């Protein structure tokens, strides 16, 4: 579902099917279907940039108590290794929208630097 917030395009999506070749049913039972949110930009060359929030940045904000939004920590909790934990945001849609708006208005110049991004370019069909 595409939406716009403060003149910024986002896409909220969730996989409808989890057909994954080579995964046993046991592995599939342990996967969590969650919504993903990406920042969506149309670039000057008509390509599309999509970027996920940087998980390391979000972890750091939680660790430093700079954000307070309802979440769960999943993963290898018994190891107490912060790098092995995953933060799952569980706040309401309204709270998530407030978080995104506040995050977008922050003075952090690197807020959209992420290791998970893609540039999509149209490929002309060949005959």
Write down the pTM of the prediction.
Answer: 0.67
Round to the nearest angstrom and report the end-to-end CA distance of the chain: 33
Residue 48 sits at φ, ψ, to 5 deg, of: -120, 135
Residue-wise pLDDT for 1-58, tens only, equals: 888 888 888 888 876 665 655 667 777 676 777 778 889 899 988 899 999 888 888 8
Element (H, E) at 12: strand 8-13
d(CA 106, CA 57): 13
Q: Which tokens sit at 33?
A: 């279907």
Q: What ranges do the domains of the chain cover?
A: 2-120
Residue 73 CB contacts under 8 Å (≥ 6 apart), including other chains: 85, 86, 87, 88
pLDDT digit string, tens, across residues 89-120: 889 989 988 988 888 888 888 888 888 888 98
Phi, psi of 70 (to 5 degrees): -60, 130
Looking at the chain, list the stretches that DSSP marks H as alpha helix, in order from N- to C-terminal side. 25-29, 55-63, 93-104
């Amino acid at each position: 579902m595409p939406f716009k917030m403060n003149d910024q395009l986002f896409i909220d999506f969730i996989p409808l099917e989890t057909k994954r070749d080579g995964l046993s049913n046991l592995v599939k039972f342990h996967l969590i279907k969650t919504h993903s949110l990406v920042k969506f930009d149309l670039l000057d060359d008509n390509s599309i940039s999509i970027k996920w929030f940087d998980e390391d940045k979000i972890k750091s904000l939680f660790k430093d108590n700079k954000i307070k939004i309802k979440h769960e920590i999943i993963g290898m909790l018994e190891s107490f290794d912060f790098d092995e934990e995953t933060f799952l945001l569980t706040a309401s849609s309204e709270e998530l929208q407030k978080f995104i708006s506040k995050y977008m208005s922050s003075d952090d110049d690197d807020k959209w630097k992420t290791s998970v991004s893609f540039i999509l370019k149209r490929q002309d069909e060949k005959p």
